[in-house]
Amino acid sequence: MGAAVRLLLVLPLMAAVALCGHTVSGRTHFHKKPPPRGGGGGRHRGSGGSKDGSVVSTPAVPPADEGNGTGPTPLMPPTPPAGSIVPSDPATPPAAPADAEPCVFDVRAYGAAGDGGTDDTQAFRDAWRAACASDSAVLLVPADGTFTVTATTFAGPCKPGLVFQVDGVLMPPDGPDCWPASDNRRQWLVFSNLDGMTLRGAGTIEGNGEEWWNLPCKPHRGPNGSTLRGPCDSPTLVRFFMSRNLAVEGLGVENSPEFHFRFDGCSDVRVDGLYISSPANSPNTDGIHVENTQRVAIYNSRISNGDDCISIGTGSYDVDIQNVTCGPGHGISIGSLGVHNSQACVSNVTVRNAVIRNSDNGLRIKTWQGGMGAVSGITFDTVTMDNVRNCIIVDQYYCLDKRCMNQSTAVHVTDVSYANVRGSYDTRSAPIHFACSDTVPCTNITMAEVELLPFSGELVDDPFCWSAYGVQQTPTIPPINCLQEGLPEGLLDSPDLKCR
């Protein structure tokens, strides 16, 4: 075939693949897959989407709860508008030039079937390669398909203004038996080495996690409720690695095999308007995990799962969490920190206008004995508890089994403020628990306007304190008379407690 003839055949295909000049908006999607097993529930759009499916990025109140909580969701002030000066508010990802129209790279134009059964991985990789090389590109997962993709890393650097738009259903293979043997079993979608990328859409990322949760090496999944030894790797659903100026907006994410979202080594991250859902008994399914990441905003999201709603690991600074509803799950956690005698540093974390309901924990800081470093500058302000077992907890003796040895060093917990924390607690545990290290006590704990009453049953009015120093700025319910005044001598002179 002559060169001229080949060129005439190729040009129409290129025009179909890159639909430059056409805009992309969210569209209602239709699942071609049965409803997820395991009780993850359907997508609740609430105030996170408009009638036509387009994303509204800053609803004034958290999405309404359809669970079994008994108390009403309080009205909450709107998130500060973009551009206002807010502590810990990350920079907005750089926008494309105003006169630039996006080039749309529809994965179907690259061969994706979207029928829920065909492996569409290569089509996604090809579409990513083309979109990454184009300014103001949109990689489109269309609304009328269910797309199956195996473990894939979408790597940069890419041209500015890249958007990964999920309007349909995107999912991994169904369980460990269907996972390709050559694929990494610790992660599914990885976005790496990117600057200024947005992941958004009106669609759903479905994790197909049930078979992973039921592995016999998961907690209480073996014979007679035991946990069996053996390989127990399970994939994080979406991971961002060594990237900056990121935005994640408007998606529904459900039934992850393990963590739903994980940010490692990133900076300037904005998460807004997510709905994350997995069953309460799904193990290790943290909603959003942040580690070695700075300047993070998590706004206007609802998270129900089987582990921490939001977990903050070492090396995380300037984290701002607002208008988030959690539960069921394990609450909002800083840690665990200092495992295997490591140094851990976390500072300047704010949780404001949050609701936590039907959870094992509310606001938790957890560290291992033997660690070093510090957790400092933590503010919990205006948090509503609804039937939470451990509403306020600092645990410097965190351990996963009974074999942990007592050690003399610890991660220092200091400058922690609890203000306007109200609601109800499960009376199986005291609502306030400060278990701090003998040698590295907790210091500068401040309590103001804390009012916690039993969800049912009799009042438990005996908070627990051990080596905890702080002050009640106002009378609290229950009274926290066990806090010690002042500061322990010589504590702050230790170089092991310094971070930055």
Residues 6+ apart with CB under 8 A from 176: 185, 211, 212, 215, 234
**Burial of 439: CB neighbours in 10 Å, binned 0-12, 13-18, 19+:** middle
Greatest alpha-carbon pair distance for the chain in Å reads 89
Instruction: Determine what percent of the chain falls in helix, strand and coil, rounding each to the nearest 5.
Output: 10, 40, 50
Q: Which helix (H) or strand (E) holds 11?
A: helix 3-17
Q: Which of 29, 289, 330, 433 is catalytic?
A: 330
User: 68: how many CB neighbours lie within 10 A of its CB?
Assistant: 11
Whether 330 is catalytic is yes
DSSP characters over 278-315: --TT-TT--SEEEES-EEEEEEEEEEE-SS-SEEE-TT
Q: Where are the alpha helices (DSSP H) in 29-178?
A: 121-132
Q: Is the peptide bond before 316 cis (omega within 30 degrees of 0)?
A: no
Length of the chain: 500
Query: Whose structure tokens read 């395991």?
Result: 38
- Cα–Cα distance, 186 to 183 (Å, whole number): 9
Residues with catalytic function? 330
